[in-house]
Structure formats: C-alpha cells, structure tokens
C-alpha cells in the first residue's frame, strides 16, 4: 500500500513504527483507508482473553475496537501531530461477538477546526452487525516547537 501522507500514523500503517499496545492487543489490521472521505476499514481479532463469563466478547473490548477505528478515521484526515481526545462516546450492541475476525468501519461525519463527530460499526465474518458507536472528539493542533536559545 502506497501512502502519500507522512507522520506517525502512516508509519504505523506501513509497519515502520509499531502500533500502539492497545491496537496490537486488539489485533488491529488496516484493510482500506480513504483520507479524502474520512473513512477507514480495519480488522480486529477477538481472542479468548476477550470473552465474558458467558462466552461472548466483552462489551468494553468491542467499544475499544470502535474507539480505535473511529480515531483512525479522523487521524487519517489530519496533518501529523494532532491529539484527538474523546469527549463523548456511545456504543449500541446488536448481537454478541464471538472469537475470530471482527470487521470495523470508521468514518468522519463532521469535522471543524477543534471538534469532530465520528461513527463506527463492527461486523462479523458473515457481515452481520455486532455494534455501532458514535463519538465526539476534540482536535488539538500540535504545539509549535520553541527554538532553543
């Protein structure tokens, strides 16, 4: 995959920099990225360690997957160095998730100078909807580096 952008996110996507530990834990793998549309598709891997007492992937883990893909959708639309803290996140669960691959889509719904609204979906291998989320994220521009005296 040839990436036109530069920065830490693109370095992680092309494998020259390791993914963040949480993305590694969740088994994050990029499938498709469209910065112009603010859309990203990724795959996660639901592991045995993610299961609840009844044998389904715990809801907090699914929410972390959604948070990861929504943040990735926003970060791919911005120049390098921006911070994107989540202000609010809402997850809705449609059906249980089982072990194995989970396919995620994140997209930017609206972006202004300092705030963005994003949404995400998780689907199983059969394409059935597992969960959806929407989030509000702050966009914090990088601080200019101060010159040394």
* Domain positions in the chain: 8-138
Under the banding of pLDDT at 50, 70 and 90, the label for residue 3 is: very low
Under the banding of pLDDT at 50, 70 and 90, the label for residue 19 is: confident
Asked if 103 and 52 count as a contact pair (C-beta separation under 8 A), the reply is no
What digits encode the pLDDT tens for the residues 99-115?
999 999 999 999 999 99
Instruction: Inform me whether the pLDDT recorded for 93 exceeds 50.
Output: yes
**CB pairs under 8 A, 24+ apart, for 111-117?**
111/38, 111/74, 111/77, 111/139, 112/139, 113/139, 114/138, 114/139, 114/140, 115/87, 115/139, 116/74, 116/84
**CB pairs under 8 A, 24+ apart, for 52-61?**
55/98, 56/96, 56/97, 56/98, 57/96, 57/97, 57/98, 57/99, 57/102, 59/91, 59/93, 59/131, 61/26
What digits encode the pLDDT tens for the residues 40-91?
999 999 999 999 999 999 999 999 999 999 999 999 999 888 899 999 999 9
**Mean pLDDT across the chain, nearest whole number?**
90
> Hey, how many other C-beta atoms are within 10 angstroms of the C-beta on 57?
23
**pTM, entire model:** 0.89
Tell me the mean pLDDT in the region 129-149: 86
Edge-to-edge order in the sheet of strand 100-111? 29-34, 39-46, 100-111, 115-123, 129-138, 86-93
Under the banding of pLDDT at 50, 70 and 90, the label for residue 1 is: very low
| Class at the top of the CATH hierarchy for domain 8-138 | alpha beta
Instruction: Inform me whether the pLDDT recorded for 142 exceeds 60.
Output: yes
pLDDT attached to residue 2: 40
For CA atoms 117, 122, 123, 128, the dihedral sign is negative
pLDDT attached to residue 147: 61
pLDDT attached to residue 117: 98
């Amino acid at each position: 995959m040839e990436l036109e952008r530069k920065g830490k996110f693109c370095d992680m996507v092309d494998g020259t920099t390791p993914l963040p530990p949480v993305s590694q834990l969740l088994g994050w793998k990029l499938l498709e990225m469209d910065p112009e549309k603010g859309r990203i598709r990724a795959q996660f891997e639901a592991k045995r360690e993610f299961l609840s007492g009844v044998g389904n992937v715990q809801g907090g883990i699914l929410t972390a997957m959604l948070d990861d893909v929504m943040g990735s959708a926003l970060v791919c639309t911005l120049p390098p160095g921006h911070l994107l803290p989540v202000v609010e996140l809402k997850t809705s669960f449609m059906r249980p998730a089982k072990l194995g691959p989970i396919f995620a889509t994140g997209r930017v719904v609206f972006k202004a100078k300092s705030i963005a609204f994003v949404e995400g979906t998780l689907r199983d291998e059969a394409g059935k909807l597992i969960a959806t989320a929407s989030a509000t994220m702050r966009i914090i521009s990088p601080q200019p580096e101060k010159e040394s005296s």
